[in-house]
Amino acid sequence: MVFKKLAGLSMTAILLAAVNTAAVAQEDTTKKLYLGVGNTSAEYWTQMIWGATQVMKSVGGDVQVIGNDFDPQKSLQNISAITAAGCEGCIFTWFPDSPAFTKTFVEKIGDAGGFVTTLWNRAEEIHPWDTAAEAWVANISFDGVDAGYQNGMALCKALGGKGEIVVLQGVLDNAPAKQRTMGLEKAVAECPGMTILDKQVGSWQQAPAQDIMRTWLTKYGERIKGVVGQNDAMALGAVAALREAGLAGKVPVTGTDGSSDVVKLIETGEMLSTMSGLNEHQGAIAAALAYGARTGDIKLSDLKEDQRDFFVQQILITKENASEFLARKPDPAEYSYEAIKADFWAKSAGQIPNGVN
């Protein structure tokens, strides 16, 4: 089963180091991965960090986790601190908090002599093979169009093909938010009795989403028949507001990320579905590709475009497979550098198409 390929675990035992940017540039960077993430608390990020950490541990290296709080200016400050004195051979995996900053980030790392893999966000007009091409190794994401579509169709089925829904959106210029909106719009077109009543930006965060959902419940009441959260954190915010109103389990809610808290709610019926990527594998492949480029195991000029800008596999979690998903066990051996190196693209879901960033 695909769940045996989904290595994941509770991250309560993983200690996430806070970065001291003033000292970063002075450290030995021979086998250090600088890992820039949206935050260090959400389960998606801790799973991704775990995967990257297994790769670096397997080569005797380590990971410095840098939480940027979805703030591109903070990301820029941290990258600038790391690269200020030059950073020849440094390796980075970085979440560009806004695609408008991706070019600046990868060029700054390239100018310092480093290598970088990016997660999720790149502007439509740039690619690893045409921008800082000897430094930007790859961009790695999940197919948000597919996630939005599959969740949308699950909601359509749950509603019997008819009803008004509300949508909690991510940061609008982020590729995942754009893609998940595209996918939902495709589902709505195929389910014409399901219509979007309202949509607002929850910025990927639980607390803002809960506040938005409270407002919607006051404004629309029983008109709301379903909720789309474009990630699990916002979906959890919606569920919290529905609980306050005594409606948990009565209004189906979808999410994306496959966090264990959400999957447990799917088991109990308080949520309908979530799309889970191979989150640990995304971190592992991003770290492995950056490390491989630095060591010379990978020659960037030899790679094809679909090896430098690609989706990782994912699966829709519903009540039918939630228990099996929660029972999955991680095997750190599958996340060593040598294991990933055997076929870097074994769990690729194909090249990221034009028009979705």
| Residue at 356 is within a domain | no
Distances (CA, A) of 339 to 203, 306, 332: 36, 20, 10
| Residue at 53 is within a domain | yes
Shared domain check, 151 and 37? no
Shared domain check, 163 and 16? no
**What is the extent of the structural domain holding 104?**
2-141+278-312+329-351
| Residue at 357 is within a domain | no
Looking at residue 145, its pLDDT comes to 97
Query: Is 10's pLDDT higher than 60?
Result: no
Shared domain check, 102 and 66? yes
The kind and range of the H/E element at 116 are strand 115-119
Looking at residue 42, its pLDDT comes to 86
DSSP string, 207-240: HHHHHHHHHHHHHHGGGEEEEEESSHHHHHHHHH
Shared domain check, 337 and 293? yes
pLDDT in tens, 282-299: 999 999 999 999 999 999
Half-sphere exposure (Cβ direction) of 24: Cα atoms closer than 13 Å: 27
How far is the C-alpha of 114 from the C-alpha of 257, rounded, in Å? Answer: 30
Range of lowest pLDDT (36-45, 130-139, 211-220, 284-293): 36-45
Query: Is 345's pLDDT higher than 90?
Result: yes
Characterize the bridge pairing of strands 309-312 and 348-351: antiparallel
| Residue at 270 is within a domain | no
Shared domain check, 102 and 9? yes
What is the SS3 assignment for 66? Answer: strand
| Residue at 68 is within a domain | yes
Enumerate the H helices of the chain as residue ranges: 21-24, 43-58, 72-83, 102-111, 144-158, 175-190, 206-220, 232-244, 260-268, 279-295, 322-326, 337-341
| Residue at 89 is within a domain | yes
Shared domain check, 127 and 222? no
Shared domain check, 219 and 181? yes
Is 286:117 a contact under the CB 8 Å cutoff? Answer: yes
Q: What are phi and psi of 228, to 5 degrees?
A: -105, 120
pLDDT in tens, 152-179: 999 999 999 999 999 999 999 899 999 9
Domain of 185: which CATH number? 3.40.50.2300
Confidence category of residue 19, pLDDT binned at 50, 70, 90: very low
Confidence category of residue 357, pLDDT binned at 50, 70, 90: confident
Shared domain check, 290 and 222? no
Shared domain check, 290 and 174? no
> How many CB atoms lie under 10 A from the CB of residue 331?
12
Shared domain check, 298 and 222? no
Percent of the chain residues past pLDDT 70, beyond the cut: 92
Looking at residue 71, its pLDDT comes to 95
Query: Is 31's pLDDT higher than 60?
Result: yes
Is 176:139 a contact under the CB 8 Å cutoff? Answer: no
Number of domains in the chain: 2
The kind and range of the H/E element at 64 are strand 62-67
Is 212:200 a contact under the CB 8 Å cutoff? Answer: yes
Shared domain check, 162 and 307? no
- Classify residue 81 by burial, with Cβ atoms within 10 Å: 0-12, 13-18, 19+: middle
